[in-house]
């Protein structure tokens, strides 16, 4: 059974720092991996989607990488801002099932 783990569970950084969030999964047979952010009590906002054949995707200050063989993905956030404070979730798509991690709660201190 696929298991998705996100480390750390919580992270607090000063404004302006670059940071890396980690996501690991146990079964490399995935179609894609997607990163989301979630604000308290809200739905999920898609950040980046990486197909299984891709190694990375970039959008603005965000860069996500995927190493399928080792079961790892990272989300890199450059020059963090207080507005980046949220919970970040990764999800893997195995074709007919989706598996989410429990998220990393990020606080960016002004």
Question: Where along the sequence are the contacts to other proteins (CB under 8 A)?
Answer: 4, 31-32, 34, 36, 41-46, 49, 51, 89, 91, 93, 95-103
Q: Identify the CA nearest to 62 among candidates 74, 53, 44.
A: 74
Nearer to other proteins, 26 or 45 (CB): 45
CA–CA dist 102, 7 (Å, integer): 9
Answer whether 25's CB lies under 8 Å from 3's CB. Answer: yes
Query: Least CB distance from residue 43 to other proteins, whole Å?
Result: 4
State which residue, 18 or 93, has the beta carbon closest to other proteins.
93
- The answer to whether residues 99 and 2 touch, using CB atoms and an 8 Å cutoff, is yes
Closest to other proteins by CB, 17 vs 27, is 27
């Amino acid at each position: 059974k696929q298991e998705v783990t996100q480390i750390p569970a919580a992270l607090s950084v000063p404004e302006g720092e670059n940071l890396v969030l980690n996501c690991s999964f146990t079964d490399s047979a995935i179609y894609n991996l997607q990163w989301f952010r979630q604000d308290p009590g809200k739905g999920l906002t898609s950040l980046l989607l990486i197909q299984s054949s891709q190694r990375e995707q970039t959008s603005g200050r965000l860069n996500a990488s995927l190493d399928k063989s080792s079961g790892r993905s990272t989300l890199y956030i450059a020059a963090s801002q207080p507005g980046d404070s949220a919970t970040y979730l990764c999800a893997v798509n195995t074709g007919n099932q989706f598996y989410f991690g429990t998220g990393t709660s990020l606080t960016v201190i002004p």
